[in-house]
A and B are shown apart, each in its own frame.
Chain A
């Protein structure tokens, strides 16, 4: 009896709560998916907390961004999309858009203009990749090295990775062809402008794999962004690639003897998408959140907590000091002129086409 009563009351309350939503036509609860760790924390501080304060909405965090594409596809097939806003890298956003799993965004009507009135499409500029993606940060995949294991001549070029004589020891590389193939060709004498032309050909792909083969026995292949920082901290590797924010944490927050090798860093974007198949109330809520969370001030705020560059031009001048460490964040940004002397931009179009093919060859090569 008592149980039935409790159940009935709870149901009644839930239904009532569902009907009285915050603004009448928007959902009062939303699930935001992101990467977890320090990155989610920076979003919590810069976006979620102010938004919850402003609107009274409850935000539920889900740390599933790594499998976001697969999970969204499964949710879509099951006809039950439980996520409202999803944080993904640009390449994944393109795939979600291609598969019809992400909603198309019109930047000028759905995103806030810059404080001086510049429309969002100009403020984000080239970083608006695809039709569904709302960029948030610029991050880079780059190398960090142990300062105590490289002798008297710290590496200045990405080709140090391929130089086993000058820098003996293990290196960590990501267990996928993207970025590694480019670096291999670059260090095999291919000019930066020609890298993708070469990589389109069978011979070019083989050339890159052959170059990687020269260090294959000394490579630890990582698949989670936390691996390289861990391996560096343990002294397992001399140098390794990972996301620049992770290296910042190792260097500045954990004070490990590690330094950045910005040379040939590969810029990539991370941002939001809104899944298709939401109810109108939830979609309105998601759009409202996006409008808030990607305005100029909010993007600049995020840089207080993590060393990723804001995706809006107008946010850059507002980047200040780290919220806890109190150090200037600008010199740690991948976009800082001092760091960005030699950079790559992730070639979305190329990898959308060649990913399956080169992946198959890369996986076969790894297994040999």
Chain B
């Protein structure tokens, strides 16, 4: 045997090395185990982890700005947002083109709502601009069409802008045929000479064919195509070498284009809304132009992005940190009161004969089986000023009729109702741990001379701590994310961070902010769990046995 080890690897019966043979056997076992849990694993990944990750990703996502205003964002790259000058005219022109296209695709108002979270007035600024943007560049369109009616007709544009083979296919196509419209292919000669026009026309063609599902041969080009054509021609596009369709008309236009009336887009934009001449608007656009933003996270800790980097929000808008702290403190209070109320109950249940204990256990479980909403609404009836508790107190003469206690719509209400609702989560682990503590230990302590208190405190209590630990973690983590009970009985001073998350999800529609708040909550809970593990040790937590 020893020879074998010294001379070479230990071999299994089939001649392979024992190590790899063992590994193979183990791997097969592991694989089988994995296959057994695979359905659950895949289910959890698909229905739980993936949506959460997707939702949390929204807290940094900001592509909407660069997707909707690609040219403006590119043009703003060189603009110094810390200076006090407005962006150059080219940026305004880029903005005109972007909003024109966005308006056709009905995306501009969506961007307006997004930016309105950062700067008041963006919503109506984009809506208003979208409504007027169509008229803005028409000056060029009119001049081209006045010059030569050739430019009026969609059918004349296609042969100029499209590759010959595509034009033939497009002309042969009819909507009634039921076949898909042949996708637009640009004319390479024109794309070289008139790059901007070709780019705008490609956008237009893509929109008409794929989003509007209209016949490209029957749809007149957008005004931006005309203004792009003006730009190309006026910046000296060399069309002398071009001989394809429309060459004559292009040359005619190139000859006179210098005398065309021009549009000052910065003046035109400012005329639509004076906010376009406001530095604030442009700074916000620039600060929020990257694809990913820390803005939502800053917002959820009462800060905001500005041109000088992150800064605190004004005093009268700060409250998320306070809300986080309040949520933590109230969850601790609720956990504490659950321990105080649950411990004696668990103790009695564990020490009664099992027949009586089972009966009492049903009393603990019965409310647990009742709908959460019903229990919370019942507390409303109990706690309100004209409610059962106050009526009883007044009847007993403990409280004057005109100074009834405020027990609801404040933090007191939240603590009372949530303690009641979460109590079973404390009692059950306590009970199952206490059940396993042998009675003989306390008896032994007493027989050795301990008083009742010492026997309890030195012998019994330490053994029940794992139950307290388990119950506390359950109650604390459940309560920190509670939503419905604080919403109904909490009023303003008893509401939690989860109520704000719900508000941003369903009312204000600021999903980015809701995701950021949720991510912070998740990290805080995991951090506390980690701290708990370090201090108490998660091995000391027992749910039973």
Residue B542 CB within 8 A of the other chain: no
Residue A344 CB within 8 A of the other chain: no
Q: Give the shortest distance, in Å, between A196 (CB) and chain B (any CB).
A: 13
Instruction: Map CB proximity to A onto B115-140 as digits: 1 under 8 Å, 0 otherwise.
Output: 01100111110010000000000000
Q: Using Cβ atoms and an 8 Å threshold, which residues of chain B touch A355?
A: 116, 508
How distant is the Cα of A176 from the Cα of B409 in the complex, in angstroms? 16
The answer on a CB contact under 8 Å between A99 and B110 is yes
Which of A67, A170, A206, A236 has the most chain B CB atoms closer than 10 A to its own CB?
A236
In the complex, what residue of chain B is closest to A368 when comparing beta carbons?
A: B319
Q: Give the shortest distance, in Å, between B296 (CB) and chain A (any CB).
A: 13
Q: Which of A316-368 contact B (CB under 8 A)?
A: 349, 352-357, 359-361, 363-368
Residue A36 CB within 8 A of the other chain: no
Q: Using Cβ atoms and an 8 Å threshold, which residues of chain A touch B507?
A: 70, 176
The answer on a CB contact under 8 Å between A359 and B319 is no
The answer on a CB contact under 8 Å between A359 and B508 is yes
The answer on a CB contact under 8 Å between A236 and B106 is no
Q: Give the shortest distance, in Å, between A218 (CB) and chain B (any CB).
A: 11
Which of A175, A354, A367, A368 has the most chain B CB atoms closer than 10 A to its own CB?
A367
Judged by DSSP, the binding face of A is helix
In the complex, what residue of chain B is closest to A68 when comparing beta carbons?
A: B506
Residue B384 CB within 8 A of the other chain: yes
Interface size on A, residues (CB 8 A): 37
In the complex, what residue of chain A is closest to B510 when comparing beta carbons?
A: A356
In the complex, what residue of chain B is closest to A351 when comparing beta carbons?
A: B123
The answer on a CB contact under 8 Å between B385 and A236 is yes
Residue B492 CB within 8 A of the other chain: yes
Residue B221 CB within 8 A of the other chain: no
Q: Using Cβ atoms and an 8 Å threshold, which residues of chain A touch B409?
A: 220-221
List the count of A-B residue pairs having beta carbons below 8 Å apart. Answer: 84
Q: Using Cβ atoms and an 8 Å threshold, which residues of chain B touch A220?
A: 409, 491
| A360 touching B491 in the complex, CB below 8 Å, given contacts A95-B509, A99-B109 | no
Q: Which of A43-74 contact B (CB under 8 A)?
A: 66-67, 69-70, 73
How distant is the Cα of A357 from the Cα of B123 in the complex, in angstroms? 12
Q: Using Cβ atoms and an 8 Å threshold, which residues of chain B touch A98?
A: 109-110, 112-113, 123, 127
Instruction: Map CB proximity to A onto B485-523 as digits: 1 under 8 Å, 0 otherwise.
Output: 001000111010000100101111110000000000000
Residue B107 CB within 8 A of the other chain: yes
Residue A223 CB within 8 A of the other chain: yes
Q: Using Cβ atoms and an 8 Å threshold, which residues of chain A touch B323?
A: 367
The answer on a CB contact under 8 Å between A367 and B509 is no
Instruction: Map CB proximity to A onto B298-319 as digits: 1 under 8 Å, 0 otherwise.
Output: 0000000000000000001111
Residue B386 CB within 8 A of the other chain: yes
Residue B30 CB within 8 A of the other chain: no
The answer on a CB contact under 8 Å between A367 and B385 is no
Q: Give the shortest distance, in Å, between A75 (CB) and chain B (any CB).
A: 14
Residue A100 CB within 8 A of the other chain: yes
Which of A97, A352, A360, A368 has the most chain B CB atoms closer than 10 A to its own CB?
A360
The answer on a CB contact under 8 Å between B491 and A361 is no
Q: How large is the interface on B (under 10, 10 to 19, 20 to 34, 35 or more residues)?
A: 35 or more
Q: Give the shortest distance, in Å, between A256 (CB) and chain B (any CB).
A: 13
Residue B32 CB within 8 A of the other chain: no
Residue A119 CB within 8 A of the other chain: no
In the complex, what residue of chain A is closest to B109 when comparing beta carbons?
A: A98
Residue B24 CB within 8 A of the other chain: no
The answer on a CB contact under 8 Å between B123 and A234 is no
How distant is the Cα of A205 from the Cα of B186 in the complex, in angstroms? 55
How distant is the Cα of A70 from the Cα of B514 in the complex, in angstroms? 12
How distant is the Cα of A367 from the Cα of B317 in the complex, in angstroms? 10
User: Which of B317, B318, B509 interacts with A73 by CB under 8 Å?
Assistant: B509
The answer on a CB contact under 8 Å between A97 and B386 is no
User: Which of A67, A175, A364 interacts with B317 by CB under 8 Å?
Assistant: A364
Residue A235 CB within 8 A of the other chain: yes
Q: Which of A148-175 contact B (CB under 8 A)?
A: 170, 175
Q: Using Cβ atoms and an 8 Å threshold, which residues of chain A touch B322?
A: 367
The answer on a CB contact under 8 Å between A363 and B117 is no
How distant is the Cα of A66 from the Cα of B123 in the complex, in angstroms? 22
How distant is the Cα of A360 from the Cα of B495 in the complex, in angstroms? 16
The answer on a CB contact under 8 Å between B316 and A99 is no
How distant is the Cα of A234 from the Cα of B384 in the complex, in angstroms? 9
| A356 touching B116 in the complex, CB below 8 Å, given contacts A73-B509, A367-B322 | yes
The answer on a CB contact under 8 Å between A97 and B109 is yes
How distant is the Cα of A112 from the Cα of B387 in the complex, in angstroms? 51
In the complex, what residue of chain A is closest to B121 when comparing beta carbons?
A: A353
The answer on a CB contact under 8 Å between A365 and B316 is yes
How distant is the Cα of A67 from the Cα of B506 in the complex, in angstroms? 6
The answer on a CB contact under 8 Å between B124 and A95 is no
Q: Using Cβ atoms and an 8 Å threshold, which residues of chain A touch B386?
A: 234-236
How distant is the Cα of A69 from the Cα of B503 in the complex, in angstroms? 12
| A361 touching B113 in the complex, CB below 8 Å, given contacts A69-B509, A73-B509 | no
How distant is the Cα of A100 from the Cα of B322 in the complex, in angstroms? 36
The answer on a CB contact under 8 Å between B124 and A70 is no
Q: Using Cβ atoms and an 8 Å threshold, which residues of chain B touch A365?
A: 316
In the complex, what residue of chain B is closest to A97 when comparing beta carbons?
A: B109
Q: Give the shortest distance, in Å, between B545 (CB) and chain A (any CB).
A: 40
Some 7 contacts from A to B, beta carbons below 8 A apart, are: A98-B123, A99-B110, A352-B127, A356-B117, A356-B508, A360-B317, A368-B319
Given contact pairs A70-B506, A235-B386, A353-B116, enumerate 17 new A-B contacts (beta carbons under 8 Å).
Answer: A67-B506, A69-B509, A73-B509, A99-B113, A100-B107, A100-B110, A176-B507, A220-B491, A236-B385, A355-B116, A356-B117, A356-B508, A357-B120, A359-B508, A361-B317, A364-B319, A367-B323
Instruction: Point out residues on B near A: beta carbons under 8 Å.
Output: 106-107, 109-110, 112-113, 116-117, 120-124, 127, 316-319, 322-323, 384-387, 409, 487, 491-493, 495, 500, 503, 505-510
Rank and list the top 3 A-B pairs by shortest CB-CB distance, nearest first: A98-B109, A364-B319, A357-B120
